[in-house]
Amino acid sequence: MSGRSTHHGPGAAGHEAHMDPTTAREAATLGIWTFLATEVLLFGGLFTAYVIFRIKYPQMFYEDHLELNRILGAVNTVVLICSSLTVALGIAAIRKGKVMLLRFYLFLTILLAATFLVIKYFEYMEDFSKGLYPSTDIFFSLYFMMTGLHAVHVTAGITALATMLVLAFRGRFSADYHTPVEVTGLYWHFVDLVWIYLLPLLYLVG
C-alpha cells in the first residue's frame, strides 16, 4: 500500500535516502515496468505499421522475407536467449551475495550481447551487398527500422550492463542491495522479448 518517507531529512545525495529499502525496491520495480510499458508502445508503432502493410502487400512480404538469412536470425535468437539466462543467473548469484559470480555472468551477458550486434552487422552488410536498403520497399523499411531500433536498444543494454559490471567490481552490490542489477536485468529481458517477436514476423512468416 502506501510507502513511507523516512522521518529524517534528505540524505547527502538526496536519492533513495528518503525511502526505506523495501519501498525503494518496490518503487524501482514499478519504475522499470513503467519504462518497459513505454517501450512496448514505442515498438508498438512499428508493429502496427507491420500489420497494416502486411495485410496490404502479402506478396511483397512473402518474396522479400526469403531474402533474409533465416539461419543467422535463428542464431541471434539463441544468442539473446542465452544472454537472458546469463543475466538471470547473475541476479540469482547476487541474491546469495556471490559477487564474483555476478561479475562473471554480467561479463558473459555483455559478450553475448556484443555477439548479437556483430552477427547483425554481418547480416546488414550482406543485405546491402544485395542492394537491399531501408528505401528499397516497405518490407525492408520495416525490417531495417525494427531491427535497427532493436539494435539501438541492445547497445543501450550493453552500456547499462557494463555500468553494472563496473559497479560490481567496485563492491557496490550485495545480497541486501542489488536493485540496479535487477532493473537492468528486467530491461535486458525485454530486449530479448522484442526479438522473440521480430524473429517470426520478419524472418519466418512472409
Partner 1 sequence: MKPEHGGYGIYLMVWVALLILTGLTVAVSYVHLGMMNVVVALLIASAKASLVALFFMHLRYESRLVWGFALTPIFFLALIIAGTLSDTLFR
Partner 2 sequence: MRETTGNGEQPQNGNASPRGYLEAKGIRAWAYTLDHKRIGVMYLYTTLFFFLAGGVFALLIRLKLMYPGQHIFTNQTYNVLFTMHGALMIFLFVIPAIPSGLGNFFIPLQIGARDVAFPRLNLMSYWIFVAGIVVILFSLGRPMDTGWTFYTPYSARTSADVTVLSFGIFLVGMSSILTGLNFLVTIHKLRAPGMTWHRMPLFIWSMYATSIIQVLATPVVGITFLLLAMERLFGVGFFDPTKGGDPILFQHFFWFYSHPVVYVMILPAMGIISEIIPAFSRKPIFGYKAIAYSSLAIAGFGFFVWGHHMFVTGMSATAAIIFSLLTYSVAIPTAIKVFNWLATMYRGSITFESPMLYALTFIFLFVVGGLTGMFLGALGADIHVHDTYFIVAHFHYTMVGGTVMGLLAGLHFWFPKMTGRMLSEKMAVPAWLLIFIGFNVTFFTQFILGFEGMPRRYAQYPAQFQALNIVSTVGSWILAAGILIMFANFVHGLFRGALAPPNPWNALSLEWQTGSPPATENFEEIPTVTDWPYGYAGRQT
The minimum distance between CB 41 and partner 1, in angstroms, equals: 6
Give the whole-angstrom CA distance, residue 33 versus residue 54: 30
Considering only residues 75-94, where is the footprint of partner 1 by CB under 8 A?
Answer: 77-78, 81-82, 84-85, 88-89, 92
The conformation of residue 172, written as its DSSP 8-state character, comes to -
**Residue 27 is a binding residue for partner 2 (CB under 8 A):** yes
**Residue 48 is a binding residue for partner 2 (CB under 8 A):** yes
Listed ranges 7-15, 24-32, 150-158, 163-171: which one lies at the site for partner 1 (CB under 8 A): 24-32
The minimum distance between CB 118 and partner 2, in angstroms, equals: 22
Give the chain's end-to-end CA distance (angstroms, integer). 48
User: Is there a contact between 24 and 179 (Cβ–Cβ < 8 Å)?
Assistant: yes
Give the whole-angstrom CA distance, residue 87 versus residue 152: 19
Burial of 172 (0-12, 13-18, 19+ CB in 10 A): middle
Choosing among partner 1, partner 2, none, which partner's interface includes residue 36 (Cβ < 5 to 8 Å by kind)?
A: partner 1
Among 4, 15, 20, 37, binds partner 1 (CB under 8 A): 37
Listed ranges 3-11, 44-52, 109-117, 157-165: which one lies at the site for partner 1 (CB under 8 A): 44-52
Amino acid letter, 182: E
- Please name the residue ranges forming H helices in the chain: 21-56, 58-65, 70-95, 99-129, 138-169, 179-198
Among 75, 84, 126, 137, binds partner 2 (CB under 8 A): 137
User: Is there a contact between 87 and 189 (Cβ–Cβ < 8 Å)?
Assistant: yes
> Cα–Cα–Cα angle for 53, 120, 200, nearest 5°?
40
Instruction: Give the CB-side neighbour count of residue 26, counting CA atoms within 13 A.
Output: 8
Q: Which residues are at the interface with partner 2 (CB under 8 A)?
A: 1-7, 9-10, 13-15, 18-19, 23, 26-27, 30-31, 34-35, 37-46, 48-49, 52-53, 56-57, 60, 133-135, 137-138, 141-142, 144-145, 149
Q: Which residues are at the interface with partner 1 (CB under 8 A)?
A: 22, 25, 29-30, 33-34, 36-38, 40-41, 44-45, 47-48, 51-52, 55-56, 70, 74, 77-78, 81-82, 84-85, 88-89, 92, 95, 185-186, 189-190, 192-193, 196-197, 199-201, 203-205
